[in-house]
Structure 1
Amino acid sequence: MKRWLSKAEISLGNHSDRLNAINIFPVADGDTGTNLYLTMRAASAAAAELETQDIGELLSVAGRSAMEQARGNSGTLLSVFLTAMAEPLAGDTRLSAPLLARALERAQLRSWSVLSDPVPGTMLSVLEEAARAASRVEAAQSGDDSNAGLAETLRAVMTAALAAVIRTEEQLKTLTDARVVDAGGVGFLLVLDALRAAALGEELQGELLDGLHGYDVQDPHIHSTQPQLEGVEVMCTIILSPLDAATMRLQLDELGESVIMSAVSPVGDGYRWRVHVHTPDAGAALELLRTVGEPTNVTITELSADGHQTSEIPQVPVPGATAGGGLAREA
């Protein structure tokens, strides 16, 4: 599992530029690749420091660390995926086909639920199809915990996830008009391929993304040609009761868009929540949050691509990788 997160971090880092280039939904701010990479980097670092044989505990710790440092919609959903996937794996020391199917099912249900307005044609759709594919494999249904059963399930997951990524172009008008697939969906496909490679002792698939619309190295930065939205992305952590959290979600929906609220960990009678919202007025959002608690770990980022500060991401040079667009192998 540590090898999975490390491989995913490297893969997302090496693909960050192209993922940013095709990031046009929900906001064309060109940061999906950066957000996924930095979020996965936090998860991988937390996992690397943990000594445990419990794969559920490992993913739970990694997911919580990712949640606290999550960037953007895509990073927040990635951290939700990791923490939710950890739940059915608690107490287990080995991944199997039945466990993988249950973990993906839990993750897709949780990921759809944290969004106020979930939309098909995004990484949510890719996760949903991956979970369905895993549950249909005979090994998952029969309780087969062999390595062969896990391999069969992971390959079915990859086939379904790739098909779902290709379909995103048809599911969202914004993507259809631009003739491009969803950036978050592609990023999540890379995460799944890293899981397949790590679990089966195989290489990452260098040809995996060949032919995806907008993903050729010579393609322009599509996000820069899209209409730019004004406003900011506000992210913070806050301790709320379940009732206050439900009320706050409704109020944030009225104040902005792309609202995500996910429970990080229990605290007393409530939970620590990670909050994400796009809004014209950061001050109004923070003032609203302060009526029920004290926001911490606050980040405010311009939604405009020109105003978004992107951290430099190291590209890992690995023999056999295609310059700019090929999938690097772990050094």
Structure 2
Amino acid sequence: MTYTTINGRDFSNMIKSASNALEKQKEYVNSLNVFPVPDGDTGTNMSLTFKAAAKEIEGLENKSIGEISKKLAKGALMGARGNSGVILSQILRGIAKGLENKEEATVDEVKESFVQGSNFAYKAVMRPTEGTILTIIRAAGEAATCSEAEDMIELYEEVCEESKKMLDKTPEMLPQLKQAKVVDAGGMGLLIILRGMLEALKFGEDIALNKDGEVISSGEEFEVPGAEIDPADIKFGYCTEFIIMNEVKDIPNFKDFLESLGDSLVLVGLEDITKVHVHTNDPGAVLSKAVTFGPLSKIKIENMREQHESLLGIDGNSNEQAAVEEIKEEPKPFGFVTVARGNGIASIFRDLGVDEVIEGGQTMNPSTEDIVNSINKVNAEVVYVLPNNKNIIMAAELAVDLVEDKKVIVIGTKTIPQGITAITMFNHDGTAEENVETMKEVIENVTSGEVTYAVKDTEDNGRSIKEGDILGIKEGKISNIGNEVYKVCKDLIASMVNEDSELITIFYGEDCEEAKVDELVGELEELYPEMDVQCFSGEQPLYYFITSVE
């Protein structure tokens, strides 16, 4: 079969095929991560991001390719996880720009969409690094530009071929790839997506189906993370969600109305539909107002106090509902959202005044939507976000532009100790700008380390690493290698301490023995009598110790 154009149905099948291909091969992509620690999550992040994008276009096969690509980009933006997911979302955003307002796309228009995908991806990264997914989308764009193909299959074959050639060159661009004898993980993920799209062109709709003839699910539900709380402490008892099958023209006034009746508001307009999520004591009033904008769909009302779901029987045109009037509290000046994994670490952040702790970190990067949802739950004029992981910073920065009713400031914390130091030094009497300057300054004085284990055989700076070896990691680089957890931790801290150091902080994980941790702390206090040694149960998985020296 030949294609001189592709329509919305063709494009939808290409997306389904690509999503399935990436889901099946995500563990392989994870295995390409250079660092031999249990955080090889590039494949997982890209797959979850692409699933969120694909879910957004379910049931839209008969729409135009321009409309489908736009919704695809929106879904990717909201579901973006980790740096690789954020960059992928921007690639899809550029492709959507190239296909904007198209009923169907010609070969030349698809070529232009590849170029736009490359342009948007590079613009999203402050300091682009070659040898990464950026290089592969650039190669795809250049291949499309130079191609003389008049058939869509031929075009995608050339794009995949040139992308593969460039991917094979990535070890020559980044020494760490060459040393580990792997190609770039993000680039491989993108190539899998392109090949999945090509397969759909070659084999048609069947390629998007599994062996039972059912479409493999292209999305997952993103739950808003939250700690368990006493039902008596819940101010607004009903989690109310629905879709208005129409565009709400007056979003600001509708948002004000919803905020007067509840909190945890998420209001997203997607042209011909509007998604609403709100916690309220009067779902009837919310639905009665919403139905004036258009028909309602997928109504879900959960009684959060009783911990079960039930649908509320209501005549959408009736306003005869019992109302419980709540006076909305005045927003406080400052609020905080942070990312952490481990009940102990999460509790420490809450004790320090953090409003929302998103469960995540290594191997489990929260999406932009997760971060937006948590920001929206904080009733404050200014909300500071502490990502505490370099792979979450870009997703957090995307969230800034998606929150309209409060100022959001991302402090680029890359580790848990940096996040804790930043919140500890926050001055509630200072201005937002003063606190930004202070927090950015103090995290520079924190030297962070982790102790974990190698998940594969590899080499690092000429040192042989075997699967199962214990690794001491200082500021993101492997510092020491051993086979005994507590000795590796002691040696790691020794490499972190200098003559100006005053404080050692240790968070021990769920796999540590408390008695041995106490012995380690005693040894450190003897070795460094002029320094304070603090030790906390972080309960974090995978990492035996997270430590810092200040």
Q: Quick one: which amino acid aligns to residue 57 of structure 1?
A: E
Which residue of structure 2 aligns with residue 172 of structure 1?
A: 174
How far did residue 115 of structure 1 move?
1.0
Q: How far apart in 2 are the matches of 1:197 and 1:274?
A: 40
Q: Quick one: which amino acid aligns to residue 174 of structure 1?
A: Q
How far did residue 200 of structure 1 move?
3.8
Once the two structures are superposed, residues 40-68 of structure 1 have per-residue CA deviations (whole angstroms, 9 ceiling, x without a partner) of 11111111133652212212112211211
The answer to whether structure 1 residue 74 and structure 2 residue 84 are counterparts is: yes
How far did residue 24 of structure 1 move?
2.2
Larger radius of gyration: 2
Q: How far apart in 1 are the matches of 2:87 and 2:413?
A: 13
The answer to whether structure 1 residue 152 and structure 2 residue 154 are counterparts is: yes
Which residue of structure 1 aligns with residue 43 of structure 2?
A: 33
Residue pairs, 1:1-331, within 5 angstroms: 1-24=11-34, 29-50=39-60, 52-139=62-149, 148-201=150-203, 236=368, 260=394, 261-262=397-398, 278-279=414-415, 281-282=418-419, 291=432
2:118, 2:138 within 8 Å by CA — same for their partners in 1? Answer: yes
Unaligned runs of 5+ in 1: 140-147, 205-230, 239-251, 293-301, 310-331
Q: How far apart in 1 are the matches of 2:421 and 2:72?
A: 32
Q: Quick one: which amino acid aligns to residue 191 of structure 1?
A: I
How far did residue 69 of structure 1 move?
1.5
Equivalent residue of 2:151, what SS? helix
The total of aligned residue pairs comes to: 255
Q: How far apart in 1 are the matches of 2:399 and 2:94?
A: 10
Q: How far apart in 2 are the matches of 1:7 and 1:285?
A: 44
1:85, 1:103 within 8 Å by CA — same for their partners in 2? Answer: yes
Closer, same or farther: CA 235–46 of 1 in aligned 2, 3 Å: closer
Relative to the length of structure 2, the TM-score reads 0.40
2:413, 2:419 within 8 Å by CA — same for their partners in 1? Answer: no
Q: How far apart in 1 are the matches of 2:411 and 2:89?
A: 12
Q: How far apart in 2 are the matches of 1:291 and 1:111?
A: 31
Once the two structures are superposed, residues 62-101 of structure 1 have per-residue CA deviations (whole angstroms, 9 ceiling, x without a partner) of 2211211211111111111112210121121223221111
How far did residue 123 of structure 1 move?
0.8
Unaligned runs of 5+ in 2: 1-10, 208-360, 373-385, 434-449, 456-539, 543-550
Once the two structures are superposed, residues 212-247 of structure 1 have per-residue CA deviations (whole angstroms, 9 ceiling, x without a partner) of xxxxxxxxxxxxxxxxxxx87676456xxxxxxxxx
Q: How far apart in 2 are the matches of 1:153 and 1:275?
A: 43
Q: How far apart in 2 are the matches of 1:273 and 1:5?
A: 34
Q: Larger % of strand: which? A: 2
Q: Quick one: which amino acid aligns to residue 158 of structure 1?
A: C
Q: Larger % of helix: which? A: 1
What is the root-mean-square deviation in Å for CA atoms of aligned residues?
Answer: 4.2
Closer, same or farther: CA 137–107 of 1 in aligned 2, 3 Å: same
1:56, 1:89 within 8 Å by CA — same for their partners in 2? Answer: yes
Closer, same or farther: CA 235–155 of 1 in aligned 2, 3 Å: closer
Give aligned-pair identity as a percent: 28
Relative to the length of structure 1, the TM-score reads 0.63
Equivalent residue of 2:156, what SS? helix
Closer, same or farther: CA 20–266 of 1 in aligned 2, 3 Å: closer
Closer, same or farther: CA 191–113 of 1 in aligned 2, 3 Å: same
